Structure 1
């Protein structure tokens, strides 16, 4: 019993003692696998060196950017490839690494302008479990960069989160302050920027949720005119779902922007802006093809086939979709403005020719707009309101002007059944 008990303890200690060496081998395998798998159309990874030890290893990886990113870096006078030095520690449950940019003379000449005296302004801490999941924390040191007649300053940027072995990502970031100004008088000041996201990239489409918020933003131009925004939030989501009628996949897209207050150049204040725009039942194969073609066009490589782009767009429309703008609200000094719109494009049979008339015939929807009387006081709008009232589209109270309409194919229909051609109605509203 005694020998068995302490023999088991000794065996456990031996396993723990040997495990760093085992994880050292596994870490090397993980590293090589990640280098092979993480290359994308935007960048490639290449192992430069990997020196494995008992408790720690050192690696150097070369990152070479391609396509649009490469062109943008080159145009900005920045290197298009970088080396990352990694100090890798082997533990019982996994591996961790501290990663920094290798500061070449070329890169030092650039970074010392923004980070004088800081040899490692960008650092990535990475902890990888044996399951392949990783926790990461990226920090970019505060900087102040002055060139010619302009200056850009920023506080420390922090990005952290986790990524699993399937590439599903969770992330949060924060940037307490950002400011720009130049000698002409232009200024930008942003306070307390933060964001989060979770999801994965598939066929060029981001599947998941993302959010961005900022406490305050202040813009001013050369004439001294300024715009101030408070409490801004943006939420974006893409959800992959199965079609109810077919075996195909669909994408549901949601977007919502909210702004607490907007102080305009003329000392007017708008409040409580909320705009929610959803696009549902989007054909997934068409959307992924559009994303692929758009990426190729942005990279500036092989010429993009406009015929292929048109075919993908036609497929998207023929597969049917719905668009909702609801709510869309804003409080102005005269009162509350609200817009609610719902549009359906019915699924249609694929044909050799698809034109605008076919699309219009598949459209149906509802439109409701409410505007305070004091907003539409100028003569062009007063005349339009009278015409719309006579046609049955508009009703007016002592506070608001309300427009209500239904879209039925190529016609817009009032509540009393009066129909007007859709194109004519749109042209009347825009002119």
Structure 2
């Protein structure tokens, strides 16, 4: 009897393994069809054309169609396709479903679309890996040639991602080269764009860390005889939520954003080691998730304006900080560094209807440090600095000049104790240029 049970167990296992591809195939078909059916977009529509499910593999075909009349007309006028057919080759594994999707258009209008390939693998645990790749493509058509475009080239690129069941994702992309050249040989070239993001979305707000870098951007204007080049560009953004226990209405978001540039070369001069570090702190999360979608609306109705004002009022009532932590660069061999810190304390009611009270409540400071060498080598700056020194708006500190101000009660307080209305800060900030 024991031997019979062992053989039965073995037979059951074999049957399970043999039948499981049927189950994974059925699961894959359900995911495919449900995903298409649930897609809702006013610009693009997706439809299932066919799904032929087999034992170890299936084939399917879907259609992506531009339904927005304005965009569709523009694409057709420019000679680009408005319909894309996607062919799917699907494999059923024991623990996963994988697919390879290729793309085609009517009469193969687009070499770029034809060169796309999407590979996916979905585990039964809910994790999906994706890889989208493209081939070298020149987008120039008759319409662009008539407008003087000689070349619009995008090198073979890749985007890979891993998406978890709970919505967490990681994304990595690489675009080696983009090149635009006109008939007069003016050109725009971007080299080696790379980036990655790790996090998730809550509504329209990304929570996590994102980074994008670029080796070089070149802009040559032959007619204007201008040459501009950016080297070593990098931008990082980190969004974090700080949760308040038992008080979700008091949860706040902090967004830290830092841009660095190794070098900018223009006909006017060279800038090196540029840093722009801006942070938004203690933003009320409830107000923010209501405000962001409204700011993205294309059509603003009176009702949406009212909602926008109410969301801003909540944001202001809870208070927040906007800090330009560093805005610095080496210009003509000399360092320039500035900083602006602003705080709106909690408690400002109906801020959208009481701008004066909002200004009165702001607190903060502003500072600019600039090397004497740079001032001496720039005649216009020398004249401005002499005036600032005479009026005691600026002070000398070693090899530098310093301009600083405190902000409180709707006024700016300068180092000499003189006060002026806050709106005059705009004039003060012109010296940061």
Is the TM-score greater than 0.5?
Answer: yes
The answer for the alignment partner of 2:242 in structure 1 is: 241
CA distance in 2: counterparts of 1:75 and 1:303, whole angstroms:
30
Q: What's the counterpart of residue 227 of structure 1? A: 228
Distance of aligned partners of 1:40 and 1:403 in 2 relative to their CA distance in 1, 3 Å threshold: same
1:93-132 → structure 2 map (5 Å cutoff): 93-105=95-107, 108-109=108-109, 111=110, 114=111, 120-132=114-126
Q: Is the 8 A contact 1:363 1:409 kept in 2?
A: yes
Deviation at 1:380, TM superposition (A): 5.9
Q: Deviation digits for residues 59-83 of structure 1, max 9, x if unmatched?
A: 223334566xx74454233444533
The partner residue of 2:138 within 144, 160, 177 is 144
Q: Return 32-41 or 364-373, whichever deviates more.
A: 32-41
Question: Which shows bigger deviation, 34-43 or 367-376?
Answer: 34-43
Q: Distance between the aligned counterparts of 2:352 and 2:369, measured in 1?
A: 39
Give the alignment partner of residue 88 of structure 1, picking from 90, 102, 105.
Answer: 90
Q: How far off its partner does 1:293 sit? A: 2.2
Q: Check if 1:361 corresponds to 2:355.
A: no
Q: C-alpha displacement at 1:43, in angstroms?
A: 4.3
Give how far 1:100 is off. Answer: 1.9
Residue pair 1:144, 1:153 contacting (<8 A) in 2 also: yes
**Mapping of residues 7-406 of structure 1, within 5 Å:** 8-40=9-41, 43-65=44-66, 71-72=70-71, 74-77=73-76, 78-105=80-107, 108-109=108-109, 111=110, 114=111, 120-146=114-140, 147-148=144-145, 149-150=148-149, 151-221=151-221, 222-242=223-243, 247-248=248-249, 249-266=251-268, 268-297=269-298, 305-351=304-350, 354-377=353-376, 381-382=381-382, 384-389=384-389, 392-406=392-406
Counterpart-to-counterpart distance in 1, 2:180 and 2:24 = 47
SS of 2:189's equivalent in the other structure is strand
**Contact 1:395 1:403 (8 Å CA) reproduced:** yes
Task: Report the 3-state secondary structure (helix = DSSP H, G, I; strand = E; otherwise coil) of the residue aligned with 1:185.
Answer: coil
**CA distance in structure 1 between the aligned counterparts of 2:261 and 2:168, rounded to whole angstroms:** 30
1:43, 1:124 → 2: CA distance? 19
Q: Distance in 1 between matches of 2:175 and 2:418?
A: 55
8 Å contact 1:185–1:224 — kept in the other structure? Answer: no
Question: Does structure 2 conserve the Cα–Cα contact (< 8 Å) formed by 1:293 and 1:304?
Answer: no
Unaligned runs of 5+ in 1: none
SS in 2 for 1:347: coil
Provide the TM-score with structure 1 as the length reference: 0.87
Q: CA deviation at 1:279?
A: 0.7
SS in structure 1 opposite 2:138?
Answer: strand
Structure 2 unaligned blocks of 5 or more:
none
Distance 1:216 1:194 in 2: 12
Displacement of 1:276 after TM fit? Answer: 0.9
Are 1:347 and 1:362, in contact at CA under 8 Å, matched by a contact in 2? no
Maintained 8 Å contact 2:214/2:233:
yes
Q: Report the TM-score when normalising by structure 2.
A: 0.86
Say what the alpha-carbon RMSD is for the aligned residues.
2.9
Query: Any idea what SS the aligned residue of 1:76 has?
Result: helix
- Cα distance in structure 2, aligned partners of 1:340 and 1:216: 27
SS of the residue 1:135 aligns to: strand
Secondary structure at the counterpart of residue 237 of structure 1: strand
Matched residues in 1 for 2:398 and 2:95: separation? 71
Q: Equivalents in 2 of 1:379, 1:228: separation in Å? A: 26
The whole-number CA distance in structure 2 between the counterparts of 1:233 and 1:402 is 29
> Aligned equivalents of 1:352 and 1:420: distance in 2?
23
